[in-house]
Amino acid sequence: MMAASILSALPAAPPSPGPCDIYASAGTPCVAAHSMTRSLFANYSGPLYLVQRSSDLASDVVVVKEGLAAVASQDAFCAGTNCTVTRIFDQTERGNHLNRAPWGGASKHSERGVNAARHKLSVGGRTVYGAYFEGGMGYRCDSTWGVATGNEPETMYMVTAGRHYNGGCCFDYGNAEIDALDHGKGTMEAIYWGDSKGWSRGAGDGPWVMADIENGLWAGKDKVEASNTPITGAEFVTAMVKGGSNGFALLGGDATRSDGLKKLYEGPRPPKYQPMKKQGAIILGIGGDSSDWAVGTFYEGVVTAGYASDATDKAVHANIVAAGYGR
């Protein structure tokens, strides 16, 4: 009994570091951190996303509990009706929250929010929901704090569904124009996931991790980048883009395998994209001008200040694997 009393009096083990703790310790801190599924900082216990039900337009916040989305409250709140996700909260102190995107240059209409219960999965053995985009859906934050502008370096990743994609423009997450209009080459820098072949492509038939740097989805600096091999057969994918002051990198792989992450390209940008002219908004599920013909699924993602090291990339991917994405 005494031993049991002593053990119960010991302090609880500190929570495991999240991706943003890893980036911060490496000197490339998160300036935006969005997730439908889990906390991205060890000590984050705030809101993840906001749902609105169609029956009476009331809203409810889904929060973190023991590191994961506490979806029981969502299930109760949305019982007997439909709910949409109207906001995905930024877990950093910068407040770069993603709201449903307004009118844009390509879409000419406001974007719909995703169905809050359309896509169920498990993380760490607990049921959570992902953001399932079906076209005509998108989020953005046009007024941000701390996101790279001009030719400043940045790093970003997202975890996405490996088997839910198309060739439409553009299932993106990352840096974009601040007014939802196309301002020309180099005015955005975002992760793209899909099998578009309209501007550039990797080897095979896709899908690929590419960079949307406006007026082009690029698998590398060339029209066909043989080093950028398709990621096939993975239920969950880690996708990364790193934008440097004089080049960029693409990484991707199976988000459930510790050996899954591969560097797909690192080198110069395509012609006429250097230096970059990034504007610093953040988009999800759409292109910089709100092109909204793509489909895809978003689970989590971050944008950082600075160009992360290879070791940091591997550590973040290992953290994603350890989170335990599954069906």
Q: What is the pLDDT of residues 144-164, one digit of tens each?
A: 999 999 999 999 999 999 999
CB count in 10 Å sphere of residue 193: 28
The answer on pLDDT for 11 being more than 90 is: no
Residue 66 CB contacts under 8 Å (≥ 6 apart), including other chains: none
Return the number of other C-beta atoms located less than 10 Å from residue 46's C-beta: 12
What sign results for the dihedral spanned by CA atoms 155, 226, 315, 284?
Answer: positive
Question: Residues 272-323: pLDDT tens digits?
Answer: 999 999 999 999 999 999 999 999 999 999 999 999 999 999 999 999 999 9
- Residue 139, classed as helix, strand or coil, is strand
State how far the alpha carbon of 147 is from the alpha carbons of 29, 50, 100, 210, 220, in Å: 11, 23, 19, 20, 23
pLDDT for 12 equals 52
Domains and CATH numbers, the chain: 19-323 (2.60.120.200)
Instruction: Indicate whether 7 pLDDT > 70.
Output: no
Q: Closest Cα partner for 204 from 224, 221, 233, 234? A: 224
Nearest to 58 by CA among 81, 36, 37, 91: 81
Distance, CA of 157 to CA of 142 (rounded, Å): 19
Structure tokens at 51: 């749902």
For residue 243, give the H/E element and its range: strand 236-244
Per residue in 226-284, pLDDT tens?
999 999 999 999 999 999 999 999 999 999 999 999 999 999 999 999 999 999 999 99
pTM of the model: 0.95
Note the residue count of the chain: 327
- Cis ω for the linkage preceding 19 (within 30 of 0): no
Q: What is the largest CA-CA distance in the chain?
A: 73
Q: Are strands 59-65 and 47-53 parallel, antiparallel or unpaired?
A: antiparallel
**Catalytic residue IDs:** 214, 289
Under 8 Å between Cβ of 286 and 107:
yes
110-147 confidence digits (pLDDT tens)? 999 999 999 999 999 999 999 999 999 999 999 999 99
Q: Is the pLDDT of residue 2 over 80?
A: no
The pLDDT of residue 326: 97
For the chain, report the end-to-end CA distance as a whole number of angstroms: 41
